Every structure is written in C-alpha cells, then in structure tokens.
Structure 1
Amino acid sequence: MNEPRLTSLSHGGGCGCKIAPGVLSEILKGTARMPMPPELLVGIETADDAAVYKLNDQQALIATTDFFMPIVDDPYDFGRIAATNAISDVYAMGGQPIMALALVGMPISVLSTATIGKILEGGESVCKAAGIPIAGGHTIDSVEPIYGLVALGLVHPDRVKRNADARPGDVLVLGKPLGVGVLSAALKKEKLDAAGYERMIATTTRLNTPGPELAALDGVHALTDVTGFGLAGHALELARGARLGITIDWKAVPVLPGVRELAAAGHVTGASGRNWAGYGSDIALADGFADVERALLTDPQTSGGLLVSCTPAAVDQVLAVFRRHGFGDAAVIGSAAAGGQGAPLTVR
C-alpha cells in the first residue's frame, strides 16, 4: 500500500519529542518525596541518565528506557537510531549493556507490517552490535509511530558515574559534535542533502561504547550523555547536581558540517526554543552571542555524545579512549569551578 513518510506521522521526532524541561520539572516535583531503598545508588534526584540498583559488592543493575517518534523516514534507520539512543544511557552510567526489551507503538491501519518489521530489524541490528539480545517487549496500536527500548546493564558499584559528581577544577570533554536537531528539522522540510543525511545517520547510530572504559579511569568524575535538552541543558544538570559553576568555551564545541548554514536558513526545531524557555534564565551568554548559536546550544540531540567531567591530568587518557572507539571529533569544551553567585552555566 502507499504509505506516508514516517516523519509526517509524528508531531516531533527523536529526542525533540521530550517534554520541555520546565514543564517536566513541574510534573515531577512531588516524586522526589517517595521513599528510596539504600540499594538504589542512583534515582531521580539529579535527573540522571538511568537508575542504578546495587545487587551485591561486585554488581549494580542499570535500568533505563527511551522511546520516541520517527526522526527519519527510513524505517530501518529509525529503528537503529532509537535503539542506539536508548542503550546510550547504560554507557553514560559507566556500565555494560546486557539485554533490552522493545517498546513498540504503531498505527497499524497506516503502516504495513513490512515497514514496522523494518523498524524492529533496525533496533535488533544495533542490539547485535552492542552484544545484547532483545529478550521481550510490548506492543500497542498507536496514533503515532513510537519505538524504543528498555535497556539493562551492569556496572561495578564503585564505577557508577553520576551526573552530579563533577568537581571544581574538572574539564569537560564532549564525545560527539552537535547538530542532529537541525539536521532532522531540515530533513522534515526536505532540505537535507544526501551528504547531510549520511552524517546524521553516522552520528546517531554510533554507540557510546567508550562509557565503561571511561568510567574505569580514576580521573573521570562524572558522565552523562547529551540528548533532548541540548548541550546547555545537560551541562546545567552537571552544574546543579554538583553545585558548581560550569563554563563552556563555545568556539571549542564541535558541530557537524553544514549545520550552522542550515540553522541560519531557519531549520531549527521547536524543542530548541522550548529548551531555552525552560532553562535560559540560568545561563550567562557572552555579549553578542548570535541567535543561531543559541539554537545550536539548545539543539536537541538524539543519540548524542557522552559529556565527561575529568581532571586536567586525565584529559589525554579520556581523548585516547574516545579516539580508540572511533570518536575522532571528541574535544575539550569547558571547565568546572566552585559555585559562586553567578549563573550555573556560562557560555563564552
């Protein structure tokens, strides 16, 4: 049958579907009062990437889930991106994934079983690359296409890397370049060329495999991944969790080729603006910081890069780990200092 473009069926794509940070904070404000067992090493208190539950002195279980609507029209690529994004949260805690469960919501009267099957095949291919099975899942008939995973992993309790453990004097290293939200916006308007699409798929389907190796380094204090709230939002989570002031050197932040030009042409997501509205009051921007640059600072990243807070002495080791895993764009982008009276995040 003739099927519509996948992206035409969703009101937002990828991690741009996230509820705006200010609205999410209001929704969740009462949940922190729930009783937490002592075995729960990481819960919801600092908006971390995954929950971590201590099983014994040698093992802790990492549990996370992530799902969204299509960010691309190719069903196989959509499945790959969604699965890579979900598994990333395990790596961001310093853990090794062990298995996944599929979450599938599809408009079965609109999409063929062959198309839906391709989405699942894409997810399975990424899980195979990560060395884990899809051991089950759940399906529903949905108005919009939705796909993602529950991802489970293991980590030594002493190697859990929270987003709240950055220290004064740390430097920040970003593993992937920014710009996925801009590329997705251009794709939805049919303004993304083949080279741009290829770059988009390459970055969004690259598993954040450096995570466990980075967590084993003594000089690495905190890890997170940059997703729907953009670089600014996730850097703010680091700053707030550790009660530090973080400064980003914007000129050092890697950006995918062609993204600035597309953003200047108006290809930005609505989520970028919602992100700024949700947390912009906590950011001090350099004088003359252009609107296009601000859109990139808040650009929602689907399956974005790891953000590492480490000692200056560990930087060479951190970059070497990234390079060994094929992340040639990894770069030092900022620093952390003791919190003062200013904004938690400064972009210069």
Structure 2
Amino acid sequence: MSKIAVRGGHNFACPGASAIIDETTEDRKIKDVVIKYLKLAGEDTLDVTPSNCGENEDLNYGTNAANNAKADLFIPIHFNKAYDSYNGKIGSEVWLNPNNATSVAVGNRIVNKLEALGFKNRGLKDGINGEHLHDIKASNMPSILVEVCFVEATEDVSLYKKLGADVIGKSIAEGIVGHTIGNAIVSTPIKFRKLIKIIKQTPLIDAGGANIRTFKVGDEVTAVDEDKNWWILPAGSISKVNCQEVIKTSTTKPITAANTSKTAQYGVVTASALFVRSGHTLTSTKLGTLDKGTKVRIDNKVDNFYSIYYGICGGFVSADYITLL
C-alpha cells in the first residue's frame, strides 16, 4: 500500500484557467473522485488541497503537506488553457520529471487511460527543464501533474461533460495504481470478519474471473465469507492456499435474515485524523486515515472498535472518535 497525496490545482481566491468550464471548479470534482477510488483500491490517500489563499501559499501548501506526510506519490490535478477559444480537441497531458522512472511509468499509464476515454494524448511534458513547475520541483517524491483537458477546446469540454467526473477520475486513479478498481465498496454480504495475512503473492479475483489486483506477502485483508478453497473479500476472492488466518475479528456466526435487513448505521469522525486498521486493536496494521467530519457506514462493534465499510476489505476504527448519527 502506497501513501498518495492528491491536490486540486489553484483555489477560488487564486483561480486557474476559465473558459467554457472553470479549472478550479472542475479539478475539485476530479480530485475528489481520484481520492475516492484510490481509497477504494486500499491506498493510503491524503487530500492536500489548500483552502482559499494567495498564490505563494497555494503553491507551497500542497508540496509541504505531501513532503511532511512522507508521501510516496504526489498527484496535482489541473485543467489547461492555451487560447481564448478553440473549436476542436487539444487533449490531455501530464507534467513530471522525465528522469524519474516512477513518474514516467505512472504518467504514461494516466495519459493512456485518458486516451482510451477519447481524449487526444499529448504525452508527457518536462516539468523540470522546461516549465519548472513548482509541484514537480518542490516535492520530495515523484510528482505527476495531470492536465485533464483544455477548458476552451470545444471537443475536449464536450467529451468531459459527456463522460463526467466519476468516469474520468476513476481512469486517472487506475492509471496511478496500475490496475482496475472496482465500483462498489462492498458487494458481498458480510457473514463474519476474519483477518487474513498473505503468505504468498496472490491475485484478488472478481466474480468474472478477472484479476482486480495482486496482494504481496505480508499484506493483511479482511475476509467476510468463505467458499471451500477461497476467502471472500468485499470486492473479490483470494485462494486460501496463499493465506493464513491471523485472528477472528468478530463472530463467525452467519448473519440471519432478521438482522441483514436492519437499518444501516452511520457515524462521523471527530478526530482530526483517524487511523483505519485491519483489526480491532491499536497494533493492527494501518490501512489509511479518515479526516474529521468523514461519514462512515458501520457494520458492527467489536470491543472498543467499529468495523466499517472501507476500501476493498473493510476496516476498523476506534469507537472513541466516532459519533453515531
């Protein structure tokens, strides 16, 4: 699991490009979707988008936050503009350090994903020796700045509106992680929660037999059901041969028809940043963090932890920092 910092470009006090659509408005939409799908993929994801502020503060906020968090990747989201108006398509591009192999690999995947949606592929742009972009130069980790499309190009904007932010943001997220991301957080009924440790590299297989992603040795996931030789996760299945059960995180008694129809329970995070863990102890592996005010759907309570719907495998959060709604 990587730690990925994502930001929307500019802010409403220091706005970006504007023509048929507005950059700041739209990059926030894409940024939110990218973060949603990265979390769904199980990545530790941080939103380092500034609030309204001046240009210098805006530039420094994202890179400083990413650097302080020791992120593995930094993904600024932008829209571009070259003309006052343009009848036709201009396309998508990514700015990065061309000498960084990780940046080049991720950048190529992103522009290829956007090309597959119908945007013209403008390729990778040198953000070090050419434009000297702050986000590329000031970040301690590989930084991949995405220019989704051009705000004045009629065909770019038409395609953008046709596809919508969710489709585009999901494609960018899949380009970042390098694999397909499922559309639903939980698609399998929860009969129990068992913490499973990967002892041999193994694929997560969806209902159609496709490889969603690959877990490496040492990864921990939460199974919610089982079927002969398979542990069933919310978004797919993994072979029992490549795993071992670590601890039972809640009752293995199947959920009955009487309690599967109960009203969904939700809570809101009260801590400034709340760790999501793989089990119901403070020593369990950290899967990610939730910001203050985040609304979560709760499955049940185990000791002083709530099991919640999170990512592809679910997770646990301390009940001390959740207010029930």
Asked which structure has the greater CA Rg, the reply is 2
TM-score per shorter chain, which class?
Answer: 0.3 to 0.5
Is the strand fraction higher in 1 or 2?
2
Is the helix fraction higher in 1 or 2?
1
* Greater relative contact order (CA < 8 Å, ≥ 6 in sequence): 1
